[in-house]
Amino acid sequence: MRRCSLFLSVLLALVVTGCSTQSPEGRSPEGEESTAETSTAATTEGTSRNQPMTDAELQSRWWSWARSAPEGQDPVRDATGRFCAVNQPELVWFVAGTYGGTVRRSCRVPADSPLAGPVVNRITDTAAACGDFLAEAEGTASVDGTEITLRRIEPTGITYETRSGTVRGFGCGLWLRVPPLSPGKHTLTLRGSSGEFSTEARYELTVEPTTKG
């Protein structure tokens, strides 16, 4: 998926990683756990730069990023960080957990981009199913050893894009937001679980100054 204009008009104040998705693309899922849907706001291009994304917008855009990646470049399945920059939007840099288990990724990040994503999340056909998942959800996130306060997003109707088409459902989870980091090396760690599902991602980030010219 190209770095579409859908993201260009988004946020300076985000609220927002973890994953395990099972259903075929282009169909409403019965339940997908992860670092990772029907609000028309999720596809609105007129969102102000000074206005935070809604919970529906945040989840819709993250799922679109994760599910529209070129074949073989799934950022949630990525075990090394090789694909973490693929299709990243302009005004936010998304992070992802795993489909279960632990990974360590090395990534380069623009210095002016805030980070956002789920520590643990899910998408389902019904709000009740998502609520059941969220009731058992736990998670932590830290940058350079300093813990980040997570946002708990209750079941929210969202719409997102995949390589096969549009999918609708209910998204929920524990999400993080990290303001733009200073140039240099940083470590971002995400840990999440719900019931028997658990995910962990450790990001070794190299934040690069933005080149102007």
Specify the amino acid at residue 206: T
pLDDT at 90: 79
Q: Are strands 165-178 and 137-143 parallel, antiparallel or unpaired?
A: unpaired
Print burial letters for 16-43: b (CB count within 10 Å at least 16), e (below 16). bbbbbbebeeeebbebbbbbbbbbeebb
pLDDT at 17: 39
DSSP 35: B
pLDDT at 5 over 50: no
CA distance 168 to 39: 9
Residue (of 99, 120, 130) closest to 37 by Cα position: 130
Residue (of 152, 191, 157, 194) closest to 174 by Cα position: 152
Based on the number of CB atoms within 10 Å of its own CB, is 190 exposed (0-12), middle (13-18) or buried (19 or more)? Answer: buried
- The number of angstroms, rounded, from the C-alpha of 31 to the middle of its chain's C-alpha atoms is 17
Q: In angstroms, what CA-CA distances link 55 with 144, 157, 200?
A: 26, 9, 23
Q: Please, which pLDDT band fits residue 68 given cuts at 50, 70 and 90? A: very high
Per-residue pLDDT of 126-141, as tens digits, reads: 999 999 999 999 999 9
Q: Which residues, 6 or more positions from 9, have their beta carbon under 8 angstroms from its beta carbon?
A: 45, 46, 47, 48, 49
**Residue 37 vs residue 133, higher pLDDT:** 133
Q: Distance from first CA to last CA of the chain, Å, rounded?
A: 27
- Copy the structure tokens of residue 161: 């894009």
pLDDT at 28 over 80: no
Phi-psi region of 28 (alpha: psi -120 to 50; beta: other; left: phi over 0): beta
pLDDT at 194 over 80: yes
pLDDT at 14 over 60: no
Average pLDDT of the segment spanning 160-164? 93
pLDDT at 170: 98
Average pLDDT of the chain to the nearest whole number:
81
pLDDT at 91: 84
pLDDT at 208: 93
**Residue 86 vs residue 18, higher pLDDT:** 86
Percent of the chain with pLDDT over 70: 75
pLDDT at 50: 47
Specify the amino acid at residue 58: L
pTM score? 0.78
pLDDT at 89 over 80: yes
**Residue 164 vs residue 30, higher pLDDT:** 164
Q: Where are the domains of the chain?
A: 19-208
CA distance 65 to 160: 9
